Structure 1
Amino acid sequence: MSKTKIQTLDLEKEILIRIGKENDDHAISWDVLKNVGNKLEDLILTIAKYNLDSAVPVNLDNFKLDFSGFYNGSAVPAFRLNTHPIPSLFNEDKARKVVIANFSNLVSNVDKGNYQAIADEYTMPGVKNDIIHKVYEFTNSAGTTPVAIVAREGNNKFRKVYSIRRLNKAVYDQLIVKDQFLLMEDVVPYESTAVARVIFKKNKAGKLLRKTSEIYKDKEATLSLKLDRIETDKVTYNFNIAILFQLYQEGKGIIIENEQLDLYASGLTTEEAKLSLFDQFDHSYKRLNDLKNNQLSAFLLNVKRYYNFIIKSVTNK
């Protein structure tokens, strides 16, 4: 089956947002208009922050929006990317095309109500949560009033391109990466995980005996994985000190995470989860260090500093 073609939205020319039903009066309150514009801009800036080619440093202010018009029909305000970007030595046109393509793909999924596909685009929990939060705010920016992205067809007529389906709170809560223990309670509310401290001894006959000395339940049941390096097929990261990662079972899978590194990896086995962790570490380290500090949120800037603090050396294979 062929994939549905995504219609690219020309943010540099204009993006038309119809607020209200097609045949409604074209009046709209300033508070609603301002909120829709602000949340749209916030979403685009967040997409730019996380999706730009790391080899093309840009100023995020160049992705702010201008209000460029207002049309009859129902309320149809027009916006476009900043028409006076700050000059740069780098290719700003390429960066804008990347953001436009990612934004078009995102609103295509919003039109289908496929919010899971949006979340699946991002592996780092902090980034995933930020994108989903901005989607939630934009899709709810006009309250219960219908919102759509439209295109002009002449004679003051408009054709719907994408419906902006509201992301409801229940789905939003499912998509947001929550605290690990809250997730465990939500998914398996009738199960309890425990970790036992077991002492092994041999008797005079040489038989191995086991004795459980302590049992830790619920939140105390989280194990630790201690690593002094991360190794992928192409590179080895050696640490200044051994780093602890939390390891626990969720359903039939294994989760390994480290909040300070903003890493959350999963697998059916511990080995699968470790491979996922190593790949995420490699991607996150490179991505964060390719971005300038002013392109990162305060949280991700602290994450970047922690990566650089713990790594003693990087060896390419």
Structure 2
Amino acid sequence: MSASFASALAAARDAAAAQHYPQGTLYVVATPIGNLADIGLRALHVLQLVDAIACEDTRHTQALLRAYGIDTKSLLSVHRHNEAQGAQEVVRRLQLGQRVAYASDAGTPGVSDPGARVVAAVVAAGLRVMPLPGASSVTTVLSATGAEGEESGFVFFGFLPAKAGERQQAVESLRQEPRAVVLLEAPHRIAVLAESLAVLGGRPLTVGRELTKQFEQIATMACEAFPAWLQADADRARGEFALVLHPERVVDDGAQALRVLRLLVAELPVKTAVRLAAEITGASRNTLYPAALAMKGEAES
């Protein structure tokens, strides 16, 4: 254990020990996506407190616990190949009054990771689930792009299908998606993903590689430039990837936006007309709203 985590364990006890941690509860614990210092104080306390830890890879979790100086617990292997059976073992232990934590290999469980079936089984059994928030590659990469925008929101897609035909269909659906899209990919498939996204041409893409780790890299480029960017440096294909496909912006002149707005205002409430006109034309809602009020006033006078 690093000496720095000895003080972290003490801080975790001071900050979190006074809170209530009921028995017969599943604690869904977010763990770091790379940097061990990103663990939460409450997560450290709960990992020390629980009777058992269900995890994606017992070897990985055991190494994580060892790094933090936490005594080895009863570790239950629960991964995508045995989630059904593992979930029932978790439920059994909870029914005996045990506290059980669930942790995937990295980040927040149940988000493109095993864990969702475990949580569903616990809920179906009428038992409590307590989430402990923390690291997530999804929100980490999104926060570094500025891609969401207050009007558009974002969509979490995760991993594209492995089969070529299904992957191509998925990419075509992304072509029509006006919001930012968060994607995940493993290093052995990143070149295939790059070629698949290249058909989206000039649409901006932010690539996050090895997030929170020593060789973290975040770069924004056109989708069509992604394959060449990967090939320019062999190191760029290493590590886990989280990517953001930026929103597609439709460039339109003001006159066309106003024509669309006028048609919509005649049939719809002002706010609805403005929202739809902005989505159709790419014009700013702040620009369209006063124009819509003026059009509504003309129609009523």
TM-score where L is the length of structure 1: 0.22
Q: Normalized per residue, which structure has more strand?
A: 1
TM-score where L is the length of structure 2: 0.23
Q: Normalized per residue, which structure has more helix?
A: 2
